[in-house]
Every structure is written in structure tokens, then in C-alpha cells.
Amino acid sequence: SDRRIPVEQTSDFIDLMQIYEGAMYEISTKLEILDDEFQVRFSHDPIHHMERRLKSVSSIIGKLERKGLPLTTESIKDHLFDVAGIRVICNYRDDVYSVSRYLSAQSDIQVLRVKDYIRNPKQNGYRSLHVIYAVPVFLSTGAHYTPVEVQFRTIAMDYWASLEHALRYKSNLPDAKLAEHSQTLLDCARSLQNVEAQMQSIHRDINGAPRGDETP
Ligand code: 0O2
């Protein structure tokens, strides 16, 4: 019989998860500070709200298995970049780019990877800006550079992604119905993108908030 201790019950794993949690707090504090600064300087809150999560043990194991990796803390450290995740829901598209740009420019963190599904939406209509940062977490043992996946999106993109996620993972609909709804969702993504662009332009005229169009 297999007498090995499952990875999630080892003290290494517990220590590792604590570091991911620390990294998640480091980044979310930085985002809150930026949001507060915008409020003071421009009387505008770029961030509508944030969500944070640590990947559950079962999703970590599921992802390692899908990638054909051994269930060890080393594989987690070397191959999973989304154990710590923050979703930043912004009011407007300009906010997505300005907040991500200011965060990416901070000298104590590194940008490991950028996937811009806003400029290049996925086939199904999914839009969001995904950035993986490495942030130092200081423990008694020194600095541990830890990845955090941040998904920046607008309220409209989040609204869309929630329904699409539910359709994909939570529904038992027959294939034909699924295909029909997926097509409708693609149309919705385009409509939302239009509405968003029009509202963004009104907002720019009223507010004169800084423009940020560059990928971090
Ligand atoms: P959960 O439960 O949200 O964590 P990688 O990490 O590079 O191996 P991948 O797929 O290349 O994996 O990463 P990518 O493209 O950056 O997307 C990762 C996350 O983005 C997903 O996490 C979702 O949260 C979100 N996402 C990506 N595509 C879609 C989409 O089409 N629809 C919706 N609703 N969300 C999407 P997980 O791991 O799937 O799940």
C-alpha cells in the first residue's frame, strides 16, 4: 500500500500556502493604496471592488494532475502561478490599464507574464487582463519571491465572465442548448464592449481622468 503522506498534509505545503497568502495581501494592499491615491488626486475610484482567493487543495491537485506533474510542493512552486489570485474589478477600461500599469511599475515587484485578453479576446468572447507578479514575502528565513495572478477587468467583463463560467461549469444542459447559449454569450460580449466604449467616452469627457492605454 502507498504509505506516502499526501502533499497537502506536509508541513512544507502548509508553509507554502502561508507564503502565497502573504503575497496576496502584499499585492492587494498595494492596489488599495493606488485606489485611495486616485480618489484623492482625481476624485475617482478606479477599482470598483476586489476579490481574493487561494486555490483550493483539490484544484491544486487537479491542475498538477492535468499537467502530468508530481504532487509535490516543488511542482507547485515551479509550475503553478495562480495559487494566489486577485480579481480587480474596475469601473472602466481606462482604469484597468492605468491601475495595472502603476502596479507593474513598482520597483519591489516583478512582472512575470502578461496575457491581454482585452486587446485579444478569447474565441468565446472572454475579456480580462491577466498579469502574474512576483512579490517578495519577508519571513524570518528571508525574502521569498512569490507569484500572484491578478485578473483586471471591468464590471461588464466580470458580469459576462460570471455567467459564462456558470454555463461552462455549473450547467447540465444538453449540447445543443449549450452551443446556442455560447453563441448568444458571444453576441453579448460584443454588445457589452460597445456599451462600455460609449460609457467610457462620456466618462472621459466628464472626468478628465488620466488615460492609460498601454499594456503593463
Ligand atoms: P479558477 O477557478 O478561476 O482558478 P495557466 O495558469 O497558464 O496554466 P491558463 O488557462 O493559460 O492556465 O491561464 P489563463 O488563460 O491566464 O486563465 C486562467 C484563469 O482565467 C481561469 O482560471 C479563469 O479564472 C479565467 N478565465 C480564462 N479563460 C476564461 C473564460 O473563457 N471564461 C471565464 N469565465 N474565465 C476564464 P481557472 O484555472 O480556469 O479557474
Contacts of 112 (CB under 8 A, 6+ apart): 81, 132, 133, 134, 147
* C-alpha distance from residue 59 to each of 41, 76, 94, 138 (Å): 41, 12, 33, 27
Q: Are 80 and 64 in contact (CB under 8 A)?
A: yes
Q: What is the pLDDT of residue 128?
A: 98
Q: What is the pLDDT of residue 210?
A: 53
Nearest CA to ligand 1 atom 22: 82
pTM of the model: 0.91
User: Is 122 touching ligand 1 by the criterion CB < 6 Å?
Assistant: yes
For residue 73, pLDDT beyond 50: yes
Q: Are 146 and 84 in contact (CB under 8 A)?
A: yes
Distance of CA 166 to the CA centre of its chain: 17
Round the average pLDDT of the chain to a whole number and report it.
93
User: Is 182 touching ligand 1 by the criterion CB < 6 Å?
Assistant: no
Q: What is the pLDDT of residue 5?
A: 76
Q: What is the pLDDT of residues 131-176, one digit of tens each?
A: 999 999 999 999 999 999 999 999 999 999 999 999 998 778 899 9
pLDDT-based confidence at residue 34 (cuts at 50, 70, 90)? very high
**Index of the ligand 1 atom closest to the CA of residue 161:** 34
State the Cα–Cα distance between residues 133 and 136, nearest whole angstrom. Answer: 10
**How many whole angstroms from 82 Cα to the centroid of ligand 1?**
9
User: Is 115 touching ligand 1 by the criterion CB < 6 Å?
Assistant: yes
Assigned C-alpha cell, 87:
480579481
Average pLDDT over residues 85-111: 97
Q: What is the pLDDT of residue 1?
A: 45
**How many whole angstroms from 186 Cα to the centroid of ligand 1?**
17
